[in-house]
Amino acid sequence: MAHKFSLYIRDENLSEVEKVVKRQELVKSSRVGDFQELFDINFPVEKAGSSNCENMIGSIEIPVGLVGPVKVKNFIDANKEGEISSIDDIFIPLATTEGALVASINRGCKALNLADNLSVVINKVGMARALVFRCDSTLEAYKFIDWMNKNIKTFADYCESTSKHLKFLTYQSFIRGRHVYLRFSFDTQEAMGMNMVTIALKYAWNKIEEDHKKVKLLSLSGNVCTDKKDSVLNRMFGRGFNVELEAFLSKEILADIFDVNAKDLVKSHVAKNLVGSNVAGSMAQNMHVANALAAFYIATGQDPAHVVGGSESSVTFEEDGDGLYVALTLPTVSVGSIGGGTWLPKQTQARSLILSGNDKENNLASSTILALCAGVAALAGEISGLCALTNNSLASAHQKLARCNFNLRGRTTNL
């Protein structure tokens, strides 16, 4: 029999803290168990309860590891006329419960540092949102797109008027029968920007809706954005940041750090990342980019659901003389330094490990540094992980680092 109470509390006279306490009492009255650890909260409840999480009852902690420092020898911000710079001493925080993941990525970073030739190119392609409209006919759909092509500046101006941090970049149009999909991309500066873009597009449509009686807005998101789903369009056009990385690892580095050679590594890459992905029907031609992105996103206050799009990345392993050429393309890295959960104290401190000095010394927006770190972590993980598969050390690494051989109960210890 269902308990007759509601976790949604409408009483506006209660503070968020009081609402949390009331919900906790409701939970304790309907469930048997000790929930004290779950009920402990170490961030400002008023802000989180009003902007980040409804029906709040507590919080979850995840261990955070740190990898690095790592050096990027050649960095190009494609949005700044291709100026080449170098970035030293980058640390990357990773929040995970998967044993061996941080150690593996750190080992990959060690190899990249020894190679001393890591290059990264970042292109901010903008946050995309695709509206879907229904027209009276396919003919009307083409007329609507023709109007938009001729009046895109007016529409973009309406969008940009909603925020000084928003700049229109481009758009694409698609027709399926009576349905029109318009995919708009915007530079949202330091924010990941999905909500900012959605609000702007709704406002712009409201301004022109009266002039289009035969066109109806069905949804502010028509799955052509594409948000948190697999997408060929995202691989073609990108979403958020497009990050390209490459490095060359000598045969000595491969042998000393990973106990592998380039020839065997490339065989594993072809069999797993290329042929295996094809057999599975997967567009993610990589080993485990999602692992690095998830850990980095959670540690730095990003929306972890964007791992879905981010994981559709392509890694390249090629023999180059006696050594190895490796590259990674991530067309959809959705990160920001403001908005969402980025304000949370621990996530803010985690980002400060990355950004201290680097964003100012290199005149880079902090969201760009975040995209760079996501890419470096992913590349390091791809190198180290595939090497472990190639020399059959993956299972033993997990046995050593990821297996808990003791039972520990009780509260955490302050060190």
Collapsing DSSP to helix, strand or coil, 404 comes out as coil
Answer whether 259's CB lies under 8 Å from 390's CB.
no
Residue at 276: amino acid letter = G
**C-alpha–C-alpha distance, residues 414 and 150, integer Å:** 63
Answer whether 378's CB lies under 8 Å from 292's CB.
yes
Side-chain half-sphere of 229: how many Cα atoms within 13 Å? 10
The answer to whether residue 318 is catalytic is no
The answer to whether residue 98 is catalytic is yes
Catalytic residue among 77, 227, 303, 382: 303
The answer to whether residue 303 is catalytic is yes
Element (DSSP H or E) covering residue 180:
strand 179-187
Which two structure tokens, joined as six digits, stand for 305? 């659901």
Is residue 36 classed exposed, middle or buried when 0-12, 13-18 and 19+ CB atoms within 10 A define those classes?
exposed
Catalytic residue among 98, 187, 244, 320: 98
Which two structure tokens, joined as six digits, stand for 265? 């590594």
Catalytic residue among 165, 179, 212, 398: 398
Sign of CA dihedral 229, 182, 157, 77: positive
Report how many helices (DSSP H) and strands (DSSP E) the chain contains, helices first. Answer: 17, 9
Residues serving a catalytic function are 98, 303, 398
